[in-house]
Amino acid sequence: MTTNIYEEEFKVEGGDFMNVGTASTTLKSSLEMVGIPSSITRRASIIAYEVEMNLVIHAGGGIIRSLVSTDKLMILAIDEGPGIPDIDLAMQEGYSTASDAIRELGFGAGMGLSNMKRNADVLKINSEMGKGTSVEAIIYFTENTEWRK
């Protein structure tokens, strides 16, 4: 049986470069407070940051929901942005549609989705053109996951 341990939802504004990383850094401190092992927290932080930045840059904002239960951690990002026309292409490292202005700030390496994939046990992306995109990432806790409390 799985029990929910922790749940949090963030609203992310589009194009809000002043508040970047708020959702992901808040999630990181929450996970630390709940006692999630640092190996898991680090992976979750990378996923949360990359989904947050994609919501800001590509989707005009959205929400990030995170859910911790006894056996897994889930991060769900939902937006009503333009959608991703070719998900396989978007997943390729180096592929980015970011503008030059955004690239100058250090975004648009086309590495965000690859970073998510590398750090999640399961990554599901659904997208419909003109409707929006949802990204679901799951990290499973294993028997070796050492809880800090």
Ligand X SMILES: Nc1ncnc2c1ncn2[C@@H]1O[C@H](COP(=O)(O)OP(=O)(O)OP(=O)(O)O)[C@@H](O)[C@H]1O
Residues that bind ligand X (CB under 6 A): 50, 53-55, 57-59, 79, 81-84, 90, 95-98, 107-113, 133
| Interacting positions 57-86 with another protein (CB under 8 A) | none
Q: Which two tokens stand for residue 112?
A: 């965000």
Of 41, 45, 54, 133, the residue at the interface with Mg ion (CB under 5 A) is: 54
How many whole angstroms separate alpha carbon 86 and alpha carbon 59?
15
Residue with the closest Cβ to ligand X?
112
Q: How far is the CB of 112 from Mg ion (least distance, A)?
A: 3
Smallest gap from residue 130 Cβ to ligand X (A): 11
Backbone angles phi, psi at 32, to 5 degrees: -65, -40
Report which of 64, 66, 60, 75 is spatially closest to residue 14, judged by C-alpha positions. Answer: 60
> Can you point out the beta strands (E) in the chain?
4-13, 61-69, 72-79, 122-128, 132-140
What residues line the site for another protein (CB under 8 A)?
A: 17-18, 20-22, 24-25, 28, 42, 45-46, 48-50, 53, 105-107, 109-112, 114-115, 118
